């Protein structure tokens, strides 16, 4: 599946990709690989779905959009039904089940900021369940670096 | 922020990430009918304006072998939060650290961290070590392990996984 060079490559790229003509050449030089091999490895890692994407991470708020983390306390018997309803919204970027009374956690990203409140109210009305709106107020780190 | 038509076109072209070829910016330019230099300038401007926060790889934790992830939440006094958050955020296992509003009486926690580990025991050990290092071991907290990922789609423009 993944070898040591794949892990080194992922670690290197998590530090940021150069915005320059041949961005993978710098990774190749750092790891002692040919540029073409870096590209081939990235294609394979994308096929294996270890990498979901090589590219930009956006700041939705700077883009003019709305973004929040929402939580719901869903009764066990209704979990699948509510998950299906929530996940059907294209604005729901991801949804995790967590072990807690507040057991459904999803990220909502909308093109217009006011749409966040509208959608959360709609989900609350359709499910009859409370929805916590927990937007980010301050951020203390964002380098999503995981040693591979 | 008001984006120009060109910026919208560039963001749309980047929505699925860079083409995995040796000269990906040139390939994007071909798709847009732009020069490679125009693509690079456009991306640099979006970075300067803060629309693009980071340019790199988006990894899937589970597929990388990080089988356990927990959202660890704390109820910290306002005057303690920032110093503790900076110590937590500097730890390698802590990938995100955000202040969010309390929603009393339902939700008392105001600091959220994501902690990834290869298994639950390692995540819990890290919670102990990190909270001790930050001087908040005695503060109220909850550890919410994820059980199941229902949906994880690459953030399109307008969205970002790390909300």
B90 touches chain A (CB under 8 A): yes
What phi and psi, each to the nearest 5 degrees, are found at residue A109?
A: -125, 120
Q: Are residues B43 and B72 in the same domain?
A: no
Helix axes A23-31, A4-14, angle to 10 degrees: 130
Q: Are residues B73 and B31 in the same domain?
A: no
**Residue B135 falls inside a structural domain:** yes
Cβ atoms within 10 Å, residue A90: 12
Residue B63: is its pLDDT beyond 80?
A: no
pLDDT digits (tens, 9 = 90+) for A47-71: 888 888 888 877 766 777 899 999 9
Read off the tokens for B81. 């939060």
Read off the tokens for B40. 């690079």
Q: pLDDT averaged over chain B?
A: 87
Q: How many structural domains is chain B composed of?
A: 2
Closest CA to A89 of A64, A60, A68: A68
Q: Report the pLDDT value the prediction gives residue A49, as an integer from 0 to 100.
A: 83
pLDDT digits (tens, 9 = 90+) for A13-28: 877 888 889 999 989 9
Residue B72: is its pLDDT beyond 60?
A: yes
> Per the CB < 8 Å rule, is B55 touching A16?
yes
Name the CATH topology of A66-133. Answer: Alpha-Beta Plaits (3.30.70)
Read off the tokens for B86. 């900076």
Residue A144: is its pLDDT beyond 50?
A: no
Mutation for testing the A interface, residue in B51, B56, B109 having most A CBs under 10 Å: B56
Average pLDDT over residues A28-35: 93
**Residue B57 falls inside a structural domain:** no
pLDDT above 70 coverage of chain A, percent: 93
User: Where do the structural domains in chain A lie, given as residue ranges?
Assistant: 4-47, 66-133
CATH number of A4-47: 1.10.10
**For A38-47, B11-20, B48-57, which range has the lowest pLDDT when averaged over its residues?**
B48-57
Q: Are residues B99 and B32 in the same domain?
A: no
What phi and psi, each to the nearest 5 degrees, are found at residue A142?
A: -140, 0
Q: Are residues B137 and B98 in the same domain?
A: yes
**Residue B58 falls inside a structural domain:** no
In terms of Cβ atoms closer than 10 Å to its own Cβ (0-12, 13-18, 19+), residue A21 is: middle
- Residue B58 Cα, gap to closest chain A Cα (Å): 5
A140 closest CB neighbour out of B18, B97, B154: B97
Could you give the CA distance from residue A82 to residue A87 in angstroms, rounded to a whole number?
A: 8
Query: Which chain A residues are closer than 8 Å to B55 by Cβ?
Result: 16-17, 19, 55-57
Q: Are residues B37 and B104 in the same domain?
A: no
Q: Report the pLDDT value the prediction gives residue B150, as an integer from 0 to 100.
A: 60
Query: Which chain A residues are closer than 8 Å to B51 by Cβ?
Result: 58-59, 62-63
pLDDT digits (tens, 9 = 90+) for A94-103: 899 999 999 9
> What residues make up the domain containing B37?
5-48
Q: pLDDT averaged over chain A?
A: 89
Check if the interface score ipTM surpasses 0.95.
no
**For A47-56, A120-129, A135-144, which range has the lowest pLDDT when averaged over its residues?**
A135-144
Could you give the CA distance from residue B142 to residue B60 in angstroms, rounded to a whole number?
A: 24
What phi and psi, each to the nearest 5 degrees, are found at residue A61?
A: -70, -40
**Residue B121 falls inside a structural domain:** yes
Contact A33, A98 (CB under 8 A): no
Higher pLDDT, B75 or B155: B75
Q: Are residues B38 and B87 in the same domain?
A: no
What CATH number is attached to the domain comprising B132?
3.30.70.3460
**Residue B59 falls inside a structural domain:** no
**Residue B10 falls inside a structural domain:** yes
Cβ atoms within 10 Å, residue A134: 23
B17 closest CB neighbour out of A55, A60, A67: A55
Read off the tokens for B129. 């070590």
Closest CA to A100 of B128, B65, B109: B109
Q: Report the pLDDT value the prediction gives residue B69, as an integer from 0 to 100.
A: 87
Higher pLDDT, B67 or A37: A37
**For A41-45, B55-59, B76-80, which range has the lowest pLDDT when averaged over its residues?**
B55-59
Q: Cα(first)–Cα(last) distance of chain B, in Å?
A: 18
B18 closest CB neighbour out of A35, A54, A146: A54
Q: Report the pLDDT value the prediction gives residue B60, as an integer from 0 to 100.
A: 75
Average pLDDT over residues B148-152: 61
């Amino acid at each position: 599946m993944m070898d040591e060079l794949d892990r080194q490559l992922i670690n290197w790229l998590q530090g940021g990709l150069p915005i320059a003509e041949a961005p993978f050449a710098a990774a190749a030089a750092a790891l002692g690989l040919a540029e073409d091999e870096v590209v081939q490895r990235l294609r394979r890692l994308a096929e294996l779905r270890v990498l979901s994407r090589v590219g930009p991470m956006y700041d939705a708020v700077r883009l003019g959009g709305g973004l929040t983390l929402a939580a719901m306390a869903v009764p066990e018997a209704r979990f699948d039904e509510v998950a299906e309803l929530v996940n059907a919204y294209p604005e729901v970027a991801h949804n995790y089940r967590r072990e807690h009374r507040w057991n459904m956690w999803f990220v909502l990203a909308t093109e217009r900021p006011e749409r966040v409140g509208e959608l959360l109210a709609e989900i609350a009305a359709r499910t009859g369940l409370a929805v916590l709106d927990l937007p980010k107020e301050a951020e203390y780190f964002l380098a999503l670096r995981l040693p591979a | 922020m008001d984006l120009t038509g060109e910026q919208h076109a560039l963001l749309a072209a980047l929505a699925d990430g860079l083409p995995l070829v040796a000269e990906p910016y040139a390939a994007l330019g071909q798709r847009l009918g732009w020069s490679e230099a125009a693509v690079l300038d456009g991306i640099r401007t979006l970075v300067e304006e803060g629309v693009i926060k980071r340019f790199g790889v988006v990894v899937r934790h589970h597929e990388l072998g990080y089988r356990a992830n927990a959202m660890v939440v704390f109820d910290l006094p306002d005057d303690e939060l920032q110093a503790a958050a900076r110590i937590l955020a500097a730890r390698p296992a802590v990938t995100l650290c955000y202040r969010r509003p309390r929603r009393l009486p339902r939700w008392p926690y105001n600091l959220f961290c994501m902690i990834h580990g290869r298994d639950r025991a390692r995540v819990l050990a890290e919670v102990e070590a990190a909270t001790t290092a930050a001087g908040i071991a005695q503060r109220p907290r909850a550890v919410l392990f994820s059980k199941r990922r229902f949906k994880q789609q690459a953030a399109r423009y307008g969205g970002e996984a790390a909300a």
